[in-house]
Amino acid sequence: MIRRLTELDDEICFSFLKQQPAENLFIIGDIEAYGYEQEFQKVWGEFDESGNLIAVLLKYEENYIPFAAGDFNARGFAEIMLGDPNLGMMSGLKAVTAKIEPHLSNRIKRKRETYYAKCVEITDEGIDASAVCQAGPEDAEQLVELLNSIPEFSDSAITVERKRRGLKDGSSRSFFITEEGKMVSTASTAAENSLSAMVVGVATDRNYKKKGYATQCMVKLCRQLLSEHKELCLFYDNPAAGTIYKRIGFEDIGFWMMYTIEKEMS
C-alpha cells in the first residue's frame, strides 16, 4: 500500500531512512528542512502487509527522489509522478530508479549517471592536516574566487552571497589551505543534515597541485564530520579522482542517476 506520509509518520520514516544516511542524504535533508505538508514538497511511503515501511518517494518542486532497500511498487511510484503536471526530474540510486525507468520511458528526455561513494571511517590516519583552516563567512569571497579559477567549476552556480549564507547558517562548511597568504586548495560540504553531508568543491589551484593539499582538506573535513557521527557522501565522474577518495576511506555505493523528464503537453 502506498500513501502520503504526514508529521505523524516522522518517527517511522526516519527509522527507515537513517539505516542508510548517505544514500538518503537529500530525502533526509529536505524532510528536516520542510517537513511533510508543504505545497512544493510531498512524501509518500509504501508499506508491506505487516505495516512495515519499505519504500519512500519524495517530491521537491519538480524533482522526485525514490528510495527502497529491496523490492517495491515501482509502477505505483511512477503513476504518482506521472500524475504531477510539473514533473521535470527524477534522481536517485540506480538500483532504485532503474525499476521505475521503464514506466517513464516515453517521457525521459535525458539521463546522466555518476559514481556515488560514501565514507563512514577514515582509513588513512597518517595524513597531517594541521595546515588546514576552517572557513568562516568572511572567507566566502576567496573561496568562490578559487573555485571560479578552476576549469571544472567554471560553470558552477555558486555565488559569494550563497557561499556566505551557507557558512553562516551551518548548511555548508569549507576547509582550505593557504600558501604565501593565497588560498590554494579547498574542500566543502553541502546539503548537511543531522545524519549525513555531501562533499563538494574539492579543488586546488593548478600551480599548487601534486602537493597533497586537496587530500589534507578532505581529511580534515571528514574527521570533523565523522566525529559528529555523520556519514559523508560524494559524486564523482572521473575514476582517477575516485582513487584519491578511496585512499581516504570512501567506498562506492552505486551510481546516482539524474533524469530529465519531458513536460506533458497541455
> Which residue segments constitute the domains of the chain, with CATH numbers given?
2-114+256-261 (3.40.630.30), 122-248 (3.40.630.30)
3-state SS string for the chain: CEEECCHHHHHHHHHHHCCCCCCCHHHHHHHHHHCCCCCCEEEEEEECCCCCEEEEEEEECCEEEEEECCCCCHHHHHHHHHCCCCCCEEEEEHHHHHHHHHHHHHHEEEEEEEEEEEECCCCCCCCCCCCCEECCHHHHHHHHHHHHCCHHHCCCCCCHHHHHHHHHHCCCCEEEEEECCEEEEEEEEECCCCCEEEEEEEEECHHHCCCCHHHHHHHHHHHHHHHCCCEEEEEECCHHHHHHHHHHCCEEEEEEEEEEECCCCC
Per-residue confidence band for 183, with pLDDT thresholds at 50, 70 and 90: very high
What is the number of other CB atoms lying within 10 angstroms of the CB of residue 51? 8
Per-residue confidence band for 238, with pLDDT thresholds at 50, 70 and 90: confident
Separation between Cα atoms, residue 122 and residue 219, nearest integer Å: 8
Separation between Cα atoms, residue 191 and residue 230, nearest integer Å: 12
Per-residue confidence band for 109, with pLDDT thresholds at 50, 70 and 90: very high
Highest mean pLDDT among 58-62, 154-158, 166-170: 58-62
Quick one: pLDDT at residue 266? 57
Quick one: pLDDT at residue 226? 96
Quick one: pLDDT at residue 155? 75
Average confidence (pLDDT) over 124-138: 91
Average confidence (pLDDT) over 191-197: 93
The residues near 13 (Cβ < 8 Å, ≥ 6 apart) are 5, 31, 43, 45, 53, 56
Separation between Cα atoms, residue 191 and residue 202, nearest integer Å: 15
Going across the sheet that includes 2-4, the strands are 2-4, 41-47, 53-60, 63-68, 89-93, 251-261, 108-119, 231-236, 196-204, 182-190, 174-179, 133-134
Separation between Cα atoms, residue 167 and residue 162, nearest integer Å: 9
Per-residue confidence band for 65, with pLDDT thresholds at 50, 70 and 90: very high
Q: Would you say residue 242 has pLDDT above 60?
A: yes
More confident residue, 49 or 154: 49
